[in-house]
Amino acid sequence: MRVLVTRPLDDAEETAALLRARGHEPLIAPLLSVRYHDGHALHLEDVQAILATSANGVRALARRTSRRDFPVLAVGSQTTESAREAGFTDVRNADGNAEALAVAVRGWAKPSGGALLHAAGAEAEGRLAGVLRAAGFTVRVEVLYDVPAVEAFPEPVRAALAQGALDAVLLFSGRSAQAFAACVAQADLQPACVRLIACCISEAAAKPLAGLTFKAVRIAARPNQAALLDALF
């Protein structure tokens, strides 16, 4: 299949390699970019563990501290891998989404053990922190990066969609789906979507597509990359 990969570039390249290994033909077109926030070294003396809900959060954290002696409580496999690549040795994988991480954290950490630091993006919804605070944890949210969306498809992607040269699009988040829908509208490509399979990592990622008609909309069996790729069939 010819598959559009919409992730930020660092993550998209990894996804493209996995697609090629499965015999697919990826086209990378990041609809979101990552901007890391510079600043002082983080105050971590009261922290018992790091909450990592994205690979970008891990990368942003690693830019702001040289310490690697904290447990990293990661949302899924890619975030886990990024933490290990950054030099963290105690990394635990919830293998799911933020809700799964909130459940797992209660088995990995104790409210009395110190604060949990969430290495967050500017667009983080705050639900993870809210759930854990309700369970008695102290959660510090450090906004370390933001992920702005592009305003239009790159010309090769616009042309490929217009010509029916793509079979599927992978959407890893609600924000990616929002950006995709906005770019479709900007280029007046709504009719092109009827030839596409939209593979979404979750129901939440599919919601922004409600105004578009696709050949099919498939939801990953689990909210992780492996399950999303499996949805391509």
What is the rounded CA–CA span in Å between residue 3 and residue 27? 6
Q: Which amino acid does the sequence have at 108? A: W
What is the rounded CA–CA span in Å between residue 201 and residue 170? 8
Q: Which amino acid does the sequence have at 48? A: Q
Helix, strand or coil, per DSSP, at residue 200: strand
Contact criterion met (CB below 8 Å) for 157 and 27: yes
Contact criterion met (CB below 8 Å) for 5 and 12: yes
- Going by DSSP bridges, is the β-strand pair 197-200/25-28 parallel, antiparallel, or unpaired? unpaired
In this predicted model, what pLDDT tens digit does every residue of 106-165 receive, in sequence order? Answer: 999 999 999 999 999 998 878 999 999 999 999 999 999 999 999 999 999 999 999 999
Handedness of CA 8, 51, 143, 87 (dihedral sign): negative
**What's this model's pTM, rounded to 2 decimal places?**
0.83
Contact criterion met (CB below 8 Å) for 44 and 65: yes
- Going by DSSP bridges, is the β-strand pair 25-28/2-5 parallel, antiparallel, or unpaired? parallel
Contact criterion met (CB below 8 Å) for 28 and 9: yes
Measured from the Cβ of residue 43, the count of other Cβ atoms closer than 10 Å reads: 11
What domains are defined for the chain? 2-32+150-230 (3.40.50.10090), 35-146 (3.40.50.10090)
Taking phi over 0 as left and psi of -120 to 50 as alpha, with beta for the rest, 23 belongs to left
pLDDT of the chain, 233 residues: tens digit per residue = 999 999 998 889 999 999 999 999 999 999 999 999 999 999 999 999 999 999 999 999 999 999 999 999 999 888 999 999 999 999 999 988 888 999 999 999 999 999 999 999 998 878 999 999 999 999 999 999 999 999 999 999 999 999 999 999 999 999 999 999 999 999 999 999 999 999 999 998 999 999 999 999 999 998 888 999 999 98
What is the rounded CA–CA span in Å between residue 209 and residue 177? 6
What is the rounded CA–CA span in Å between residue 194 and residue 174? 20
Write down the pLDDT at residue 120. Answer: 96
Q: Which amino acid does the sequence have at 217? A: V
